[in-house]
Amino acid sequence: MNRRAVIVSGGTIQEEFVYAKLKEWEHDVLIGVDKGVEFLYRHQIKPDYIVGDFDSLSEEIVQFYKEKTDVFIREFNPEKDYSDTEIAVYQAMELNCEEIILLGATGSRIDHVLANIQVLAIPHKRGIHAEILDENNRISLIEHEKVLEKEKMYGKYFSVFPLDRCIEKFSIAGAKYPLHNHRLCPYDSLCVSNQAQEEEVKITFSEGIVILIEAKDEN
């Protein structure tokens, strides 16, 4: 089994969902990030690492973990060049994790959500699978091709967006809205809210990286 890191970040934390996932999953490393540390503290779930500038944590919580000899702390100045979540992702990679799951990485701060999606590219380019998960969405990156099994999809809908540049020869087969050899660009909304039509959906393209969002919400 791949060595898995779970990162509880400081976005909107859907408490019942996150708590259930932490109890359900096996993980080798648990990292709390800023407000995610508060969630772990309140639910008495011990992290292996806590990272961030801790600007949204009470002194009581920070001191609690400083007194724990089995929790590693990486505290940073709030005026830094990297987001707390990015620092946590690098920490997971330093610990040789082969799978990274981010919880609490979505929410009302769209700038933070976009930054967290971009952060997925850091492990992806090193061959490490990383994804953002909340109650309604699973966000990951794909390169060259991906087969989605209808029964294993996270939700009814899927959308794809180029990460950073136009994608050539982009094709989708087995979906409600198929596509063949299309030039898909970052400003193109053509591939929003597709659905599986067959048991397998195959996404292929020549080069580049694509954001894949699987969604449950029908709104």
Fold of 4-135: Rossmann fold (3.40.50)
Write out residues in the chain with pLDDT < 50, as ranges.
none
Which pLDDT value is given to residue 153? 97
State both tokens at 27: 């993980």
Looking at the chain, the domain(s) classified CATH 3.40.50.10240 span 4-135, 140-215
Give the whole-angstrom CA distance, residue 138 versus residue 141.
Answer: 10
Question: Cα separations (Å) of 101 from 22, 129, 150?
Answer: 11, 8, 21
Q: In the beta sheet, which residues pair with residue 121?
A: none
Give the whole-angstrom CA distance, residue 88 versus residue 32.
Answer: 8
Which pLDDT value is given to residue 1? 66
Which pLDDT value is given to residue 40? 97
Is pTM beyond 0.75? Reply is yes
Tell me the pairing of strands 99-103 and 4-8.
parallel
**φ/ψ (deg, to 5) at 53:** -90, -10
Fold of 140-215: Rossmann fold (3.40.50)
Give the whole-angstrom CA distance, residue 101 versus residue 27.
Answer: 10
Which pLDDT value is given to residue 56? 83
Q: Counting every residue, how long is the chain?
A: 219
Four-residue CA torsion sign, 57, 58, 59, 63: negative
Contact 43, 74 (CB under 8 A): no
Taking residue 46's Cβ as centre, other Cβ atoms within 10 Å add up to: 12
State both tokens at 132: 């953002």
Which pLDDT value is given to residue 219? 61
Give the whole-angstrom CA distance, residue 31 versus residue 129.
Answer: 17
Which pLDDT value is given to residue 218? 64
The amino acid at 35:
K
